[in-house]
C-alpha cells in the first residue's frame, strides 16, 4: 500500500546560524571588534556569527550570545533570530523555549522568514507557548509566502490532515508543489503520494513515479520504498523486479522495515535477485524486529515460515548477518 506523510514535523529544525562574515585575518577581526564595541549592530551580529562558528576567533557560544544580544537589542532581525536559536538549543545560555519564542517573535514581526518558520514550529509543538495549530499555520503561511520551502511543506501537511485549517487536498497539493519545485524531498514524496492516490489532483501513476524518483534520488527512504512498489507492481513504469529490488535495498539500508520485508520476500521468491533463503531470512528478521502491531505479526510469520525451511547452520548464519547489519547500521548513525 502506498504510504504518505500524515504528521506535522514536531522537532524544530536547528538551522545553522546565518550571517555574512568577511573578517578572516587578525587585523580584520580587530577592526570588526572595534566597530562592534562602538555600537555597530552589523558588526555585533557578524562578530556573534564568528564566535558561534569559530571563524577568526576561538569558538565561544557564550561570546556569540553576548554579541547577538547587543545587535538584537538594537533591532537587528538576524541577531534576534540567531539568539532564538541559541536559547532553543541551549548554546551559550541555559536552554529556554520561552526565550527562544520571544526572540523568534521579534525577528518574525520584522518579516524574517526563518524566524516565522521556527515560530510556527514552536506553536505546532507547544514549546515555549501554548500549543496552537491555528497560530502555527499563520506563521508558516507568512514564511511560505516569502518562499520558505520548509514552511510550504508544512502548510501542505496541515491542509492534507486538516490541522489548523480545514482539510483541503487541493491546497495541500498546491503547497507541496511549491516546496517540491524548490527541491524539498519530503514535499516531493508527498506530492508523489497525492498523485498515486488521486488526492487533490487527477490520479496519475506516471506523475507519482516522477516525484517519487526526485525524492528517492535525494535519499528519502519512503520515496525509495514507494518507487520500489511502483516497479514491483508496474504502476507508472514498466514492471521490473530488478529495479524494485534496487529501490527496496536503498530504503532497507536506511532501516525502513517495509522495504526490508519486501526485500526479504524478493530474495525468498527469487524475484529480481537470485533466490536466497538465508538472505531472505536475514531481511525478514530485521523487518520483524523493527515493526510493531499487525505489521510485526505479519512480518514475523513470514520470517518464521522462512526459518522453518532452513538448516540450523543457515538459520544461525542469517541471524549473524542480521546482527552484523544492525551493528553497522547503528555505527553509521553515530
pLDDT digits (tens, 9 = 90+) for 87-106: 999 999 999 999 999 999 99
Instruction: Identify the residue whose cell numbers are 518579516.
Output: 111
By three-state DSSP, how is residue 240 classified?
coil
Mean pLDDT, range 66-76, rounded to an integer: 98
* Distance, CA of 213 to CA of 312 (rounded, Å): 41
Q: Output the CA angle 114-84-61, nearest 5 degrees.
A: 115
Query: For residue 218, which of 191, 259, 260, 187 has the smallest C-alpha distance?
Result: 187
Count the Cβ atoms, other than its own, within 10 Å of residue 275: 12
What is the dihedral sign for C-alpha 99, 101, 104, 105? Answer: negative
Query: For residue 250, which of 272, 217, 207 has the smallest C-alpha distance?
Result: 217
Burial class (CB in 10 A: 0-12, 13-18, 19+), 296: middle
- CATH number of the domain bearing residue 50: 1.25.40.10
Query: What would the grid cell of residue 209 be?
Result: 513515479
Mean pLDDT, range 34-44, rounded to an integer: 97
- Residue 17 confidence (pLDDT): 52
Q: Is residue 309 part of a domain?
A: yes
Q: Is residue 185 part of a domain?
A: no
Whether the per-residue pLDDT at 143 is higher than 80: the answer is yes
Mean pLDDT, range 139-164, rounded to an integer: 98
Burial class (CB in 10 A: 0-12, 13-18, 19+), 274: exposed
- Residue 297 confidence (pLDDT): 97
pLDDT digits (tens, 9 = 90+) for 266-277: 999 999 999 999
Q: What's the gap between Cα 234 and its chain centre?
A: 28
Q: Is residue 110 part of a domain?
A: yes
- Residue 27 confidence (pLDDT): 85
pLDDT digits (tens, 9 = 90+) for 278-317: 999 999 999 999 999 999 999 999 999 999 999 999 999 9
Q: What's the gap between Cα 307 and its chain centre?
A: 36
Q: Is residue 264 part of a domain?
A: yes
By three-state DSSP, how is residue 263 classified?
helix
Phi, psi of 130 (to 5 degrees): -65, 135
| Number of independent structural domains in the chain | 2
Domain that holds residue 37: 1-131
pLDDT digits (tens, 9 = 90+) for 5-34: 333 333 333 344 555 444 457 888 999 999
Mean pLDDT score across all residues of the chain? 93
Q: Is residue 180 part of a domain?
A: no
Q: Is residue 101 part of a domain?
A: yes
The DSSP secondary structure of 29-69, one letter per residue, reads: HHHHHHHHHTT-HHHHHHHHHHHHHTSSS---HHHHHHHHH
119 near 13, Cβ under 8 Å? no
- Residue 26 confidence (pLDDT): 83
Q: Is residue 79 part of a domain?
A: yes
Domain boundary among 131, 164, 191: 131
Give 37's contacts (C-beta < 8 A, 6+ positions apart): none
Higher pLDDT, 54 or 4: 54
- Residue 206 confidence (pLDDT): 98
pLDDT digits (tens, 9 = 90+) for 154-211: 999 999 999 999 999 999 999 999 999 999 999 999 999 999 999 999 999 999 999 9
Q: Is residue 156 part of a domain?
A: no
- Binned at pLDDT 50, 70 and 90, residue 318 comes out as very high
| pTM score, whole prediction | 0.89
Q: How far is CA 216 from CA 68, 155, 186, in A?
A: 39, 22, 10
* Distance, CA of 21 to CA of 40 (rounded, Å): 14
Domain boundary among 80, 114, 131: 131
Higher pLDDT, 28 or 38: 38
Exposure of 32 in the CB half-sphere (CA atoms within 13 A): 24
Domain boundary among 114, 131, 148: 131
Amino acid at each position: 500500500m502506498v504510504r504518505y506523510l500524515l504528521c506535522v514535523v514536531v522537532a524544530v529544525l536547528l538551522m545553522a546560524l546565518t550571517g555574512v562574515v568577511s573578517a578572516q585575518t587578525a587585523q580584520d577581526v580587530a577592526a570588526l571588534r572595534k566597530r562592534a564595541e562602538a555600537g555597530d549592530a552589523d558588526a555585533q551580529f557578524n562578530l556573534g556569527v564568528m564566535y558561534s562558528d569559530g571563524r577568526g576567533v576561538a569558538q565561544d557560544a557564550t561570546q556569540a550570545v553576548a554579541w547577538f544580544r547587543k545587535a538584537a537589542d538594537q533591532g537587528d532581525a538576524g541577531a534576534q533570530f540567531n539568539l532564538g536559536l541559541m536559547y532553543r538549543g541551549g548554546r551559550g545560555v541555559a536552554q529556554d523555549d520561552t526565550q527562544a519564542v520571544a526572540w523568534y517573535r521579534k525577528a518574525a514581526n520584522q518579516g524574517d522568514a526563518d524566524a516565522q518558520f521556527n515560530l510556527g514550529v514552536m506553536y505546532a509543538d507547544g514549546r515555549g507557548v501554548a500549543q496552537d495549530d491555528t497560530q502555527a499555520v499563520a506563521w508558516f503561511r507568512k514564511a511560505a509566502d516569502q518562499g520558505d520551502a520548509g514552511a510550504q511543506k508544512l502548510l501542505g501537511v496541515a491542509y492534507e490532515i486538516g490541522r489548523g485549517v480545514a482539510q483541503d487536498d487541493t491546497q495541500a497539493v498546491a503547497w507541496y508543489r511549491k516546496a517540491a519545485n524548490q527541491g524539498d524531498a519530503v514535499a516531493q514524496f508527498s506530492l508523489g503520494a497525492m498523485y498515486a492516490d488521486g488526492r487533490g489532483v487527477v490520479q496519475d501513476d506516471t506523475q507519482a513515479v516522477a516525484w517519487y524518483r526526485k525524492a528517492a534520488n535525494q535519499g528519502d527512504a519512503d520515496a525509495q520504498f514507494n518507487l520500489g512498489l511502483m516497479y514491483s507492481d508496474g504502476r507508472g513504469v514498466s514492471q521490473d523486479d530488478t529495479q524494485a529490488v534496487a529501490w527496496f535495498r536503498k530504503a532497507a539500508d536506511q532501516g525502513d522495515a517495509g522495504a526490508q520485508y519486501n526485500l526479504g520476500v524478493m530474495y525468498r521468491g527469487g524475484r529480481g535477485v537470485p533466490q536466497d533463503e538465508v538472505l531472505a531470512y536475514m531481511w525478514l528478521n530485521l523487518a520483524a524486529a523493527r515493526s510493531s502491531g499487525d505489521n510485526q505479526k505479519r512480518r514475523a510469520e513470514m520470517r518464521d515460515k522462512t526459518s522453518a525451511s532452513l538448516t540450523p547452520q543457515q538459520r544461525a548464519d542469517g541471524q549473524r548477518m542480521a546482527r552484523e547489519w544492525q551493528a553497522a547500521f547503528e555505527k553509521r548513525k553515530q
